[in-house]
Each structure stands twice: as C-alpha cells, then as structure tokens.
Amino acid sequence: MSTNLEVGIVGLPNVGKSTLFNAITKAGAEAANYPFCTIEPNVGVVEVPDERLWRLTEMYRPRKTTPTAMRFVDIAGLVKGAAQGEGLGNKFLSHIRQVDAVVQVVRCFTDENVTHVAGSIDPVRDIEIINTELCLADLETVEKRIERTQKMVKGGDKKAQAELEALNTVKAALEKAEPARRAIQSEEVAAILRDLFLLTVKPTLFVANVSEEEVADPSGNPYVQQVKEYAEKEGAAVIVVSAKVESEIAELADEEAQEFLADLGLNESGLDKLIKASYNLLGLMTFFTAGEPEVRAWTIVRGTKAPQAAGKIHTDIERGFIRAEIVSYNDLIACGSHNAAREKGLVRLEGKDYIMQDGDVTYFRFNV
C-alpha cells in the first residue's frame, strides 16, 4: 500500500472519536503489507476503496495488486484549555500540525450511559470549543512570527513588511476565534503562511456521529441539521456515520460486513464514506498502472501534469519522461482489453503538458 496522505481526527472526549478511530485501525491492520517497519499506536492506515482497481485486477490478472492508502492520526487530548496545555495540550497540537486535513467528530446522539464532557449534547458548542483551541494555538504561532518579522522590518527588510501586514491580518482573525483560512485573500498571503503549518488553514470535514438506528436516515436528527448549517458557513462538508456501527463492521469478514450494511439500509460503510470525503477534501484523484507484474493505484492532486505523475512512481521516470501512453478506465473496460482499446484508437500518446485525468490507465515512456 502506498500512502503519503495524513488526516487528523479530532473531537472532544466521549463524542465517538476513539470508537471510530479504533474501527479504522482494525480495518487497516488487516491489510498487513504496509511500507513501514512499525506504526505508532495512534496511526491507522487504510486503503482507499476503489472498485476500478479490482476490475483492472480481473482484467490483467497480475502477480500483485497495490491500492493507494490514507493514514488517519488519532489526535488525543483535545479539551477546553488544550492550547494552554490542558489535557495532552501541546502533544496533540504537535501531531495535528503535520496532517494534511482535519476531520472533526461531533456527537449527534443521546445516550445516558455515555456522559458528555460538557454535561449536555450541543454539537455547535463542541465544534466552537475545538475551533477556539485551534485558533489559540495558531495565535501563539503567529505572534512568535510577528516578533521575528518586526525585527527584520526594523533592519530594513522590505519583503518582511508585506509579511508583517499579512501576519497582522491573520492575527486579527484568530483573536476573534475565526480560522486563519478566512483571512487568506491571496496566494501571496497563503505562501507566507505555508511554512507556519497553521492548524486552522487545513481543510476540515465534519463527521456527525449518530446512533445505529439513525445512520440510514438521519433526516429526523436535529443535531445533524445544526452541524450541516454550521459547516455550510465554513464551506465544509459533513458526513453522517455511526461509530458504533463502524466498530461492529470492523469485527466482520467482508461478506458479513456487506450483509450487515444491507440490513441497515446502507450501501457503503461510514469508513468508506470518510475516506472518499477526505480524498475530495484534499483535491485528490487516482491514476493506475497496469500489467502482468502489478496493477497499482496512485494518488495525485487534481491538475497534476504527466511528468509529475510519473515522478510519483520514481524520480528517474519524471526526469527522463518522453511520453505517457494513456487509455481512460471507462474506455478500457468497455473494450475488454488493452489491445482492443488500441485497435479502436482509444490508447493515446500524451506529452509533458498533458493534465492527468481521474482513472487514467497509464504507461510512462522514459529514457534516463
């Protein structure tokens, strides 16, 4: 499994975050062939579900099939006051700085056996507690950079003046508990902030955790509606899952899991929905390489050109890139084989300016 994507899962205590993360870890552990010697206990690796990979495997009958994967990082210790060191405070903040996106689990179920840290169910309050902690942590980071930048301005650095103005704009937003991403009005500001690894710049997805009874049809759940309304203002997506259901699915074999989902009126697991939503959140897509040795899925950012996609496989292929031989997945499946697609003129040769499309089945020609 190839992976270079990390999604951090955050949430207050007793919202279902750990249950969901444990389900992810169990789902990932079964794959076994990670390209790592060891994985820290707070990281779960899961393959990105993609039916196309298995259709290609049936067609090519390779010796090996390799899906692409995502890493989910359990960000523990987030409570009110975390930015000042409450709970695990700084430990959670250092973990979250390294992730590509943030998934915030919000409790949208009532259960008298599971106490809420704040004593009542209020998803918007919970979201705002977490956002405030992230903003406070970012404010500290920005203020430290402002101090350094002010010294550079006094030293006559003209470039530092523009940086200082951008930092002060972001600081003003953070002081109002507004995420830094709202203060980014230009690519210049985004570039200045990039190496600060601010938490509130990262794309965010909300997971509404509901009861097992409501997961197939959450329309009657007022808490889910509140989360959706809040997320809409943020320009963020919401997916509805039941962490309890996910923990049960994680214990089942594939066939039993499908039957269990069907009985609940679901056509895919919440984990699959979460992975796909995270994929979209990060603006990612998949291309494939296929042959007798291996059928493999590769993850790239939308808008990637062919040579850079080749570089995902090996830097030598990017450096010596000549052409990309490409057939779209849909054309390939419709024709039934690579040779049949070639005979119909559906296999194309593309050059250095070609922008890769989702589902491209690709062979890179190169010379080093």
Would you say 18 is a known binding-site residue?
yes
Buried residues in 92-118 as b, exposed as e (16+ CB within 10 A): bbebbbebbbbbbbbbbbeeeeeebeb
Would you say 291 is a known binding-site residue?
no
Sequence-ordered strand ranges (E) for the chain: 2-10, 43-47, 64-66, 68-74, 101-107, 204-209, 237-241, 284-290, 294-301, 321-328, 348-350, 360-366
Would you say 16 is a known binding-site residue?
yes
> DSSP assignment, residue 1?
-
Would you say 15 is a known binding-site residue?
yes
Sequence-ordered strand ranges (E) for 90-236: 101-107, 204-209
Q: Which residues pair with 206 in a beta bridge?
A: 104, 238
Would you say 17 is a known binding-site residue?
yes
Identify which of 243, 234, 257, 353 has the alpha carbon closest to the alpha carbon of residue 303.
353
Dihedral angle sign, alpha carbons of residues 172, 173, 177, 181: negative
How far is 199 from 137, CA to CA, in rounded Å? 8
Identify which of 245, 230, 243 has the alpha carbon closest to the alpha carbon of residue 18.
243
Instruction: Give me the long-range contacts of 308-316 (CB less than 8 A, separation at least 24).
Output: 309/356, 309/362, 310/364, 310/366, 313/289, 313/364, 316/366, 316/368
Would you list which residues are annotated within the binding site? 14-19
Binding residues for ATP: 14-19
